[in-house]
Each structure stands twice: as structure tokens, then as C-alpha cells.
Amino acid sequence: MSPIPRPGIAFLFAHPAHWLALGGGVGLLPAAGTWGTLLAWLLFPSLRQGAEGDGAFAALLILGLVVGALVCARTGRDLGVADHGAIVWDEMLAFWLILWIVPMEGHWHMAAFVLFRLFDIVKPPPVSWADRRFKSGMGVMLDDLLAAGWTLLVLALWQRFLT
């Protein structure tokens, strides 16, 4: 099986959905999911500050989920692969959810980053099931949300039993 080619810079600007789904261009880089997660981490303080309170941030995440499902579906269709590796919006949104929930201290964020990338790459059940089963825009989002769930579970257990 030959590797799926990465899109070029022209693809990024061919449609507004591509720009968002590819994280403004970080999806064009090798190891795009890691770069997308790092971009999400860097953008989080500004997003969190801009959202007045938890209710506003929750609404922002819900909006990001709906818009993300649409732009990921469009971009995947245009690339010919529903969950192309260049699509990073799913990682970004899932990581914003994690960062919203975990404590603000740096070691929690670092642990969240490492665990989320691990679960997104390894895909333990039900992440692997969702990744195989659902190929729609919402399906692209679902496997990363499940990886976020694993991340939050491990961090909660860590906080409960090791701190």
C-alpha cells in the first residue's frame, strides 16, 4: 500500500475549509497531528481568555465541533481520504477540551500533550473502533474525542492516586 500524498500549499488556499481543517498550514508538515496539537496548545490561552467563562468556552467547543465536522468532511472529500493525516482540526479541538478540564499547571499540560498524542497514535479501544467505523466529518472528530477521553481518564487517575 503506497503512502497517501500530502497536499501542497495550493490545496491549503483552494477552499476556506481546507485552511481551517489543516490548521492554517501545520497539516502540511510531517507528523501533522503532533504539530496540530502543539498549535492548539499555543492558541489555548488566547481562546480561553477570549471566552468569558466556562459556558462561553463550552459553546465555543460545541461550535468548533460542528464547524470542524463540516470542514473535515469537505477537506477529506477533496483529498479523497476521509481522515487524511493532514487534517488537524480534530486534534486541535480535542486538545482544547483536555486543556479546559485539566489544571492550569505546566506539568498537567505537558502530561496531557504526551498522553493525548500517545492515545491518538496507538488508538486503544474504542478509539480504533471509531477510527475504522466512522468516515464522515463527525467520525473524523470522534476518534480524537475518544483519545481525549482516555487522556482525561489517565490524568484523573493520576491526580486521584498519585498526588
Q: Where exactly are the structural domains of the chain?
A: 14-162
Q: Is the pLDDT of residue 2 over 60?
A: no
pLDDT value, residue 1: 47
pLDDT value, residue 134: 79
* The three three-digit cell numbers of residue 51, written as one number: 471566552
Tell me the C-alpha to C-alpha distance, in Å, between residue 107 and each of 42, 135, 147. 15, 34, 19
Task: State the average pLDDT over residues 77-103.
Answer: 96
- How many beta carbons lie within 10 A of that of residue 29, not counting itself? 16
Query: CA triplet 113, 119, 122: central angle to 5 degrees?
Result: 135
- How many beta carbons lie within 10 A of that of residue 112, not counting itself? 23
Q: Look up the pTM and report it.
A: 0.94
Least confident range of 17-21, 62-66, 132-136: 132-136
pLDDT value, residue 163: 72
Mean pLDDT of the chain: 93
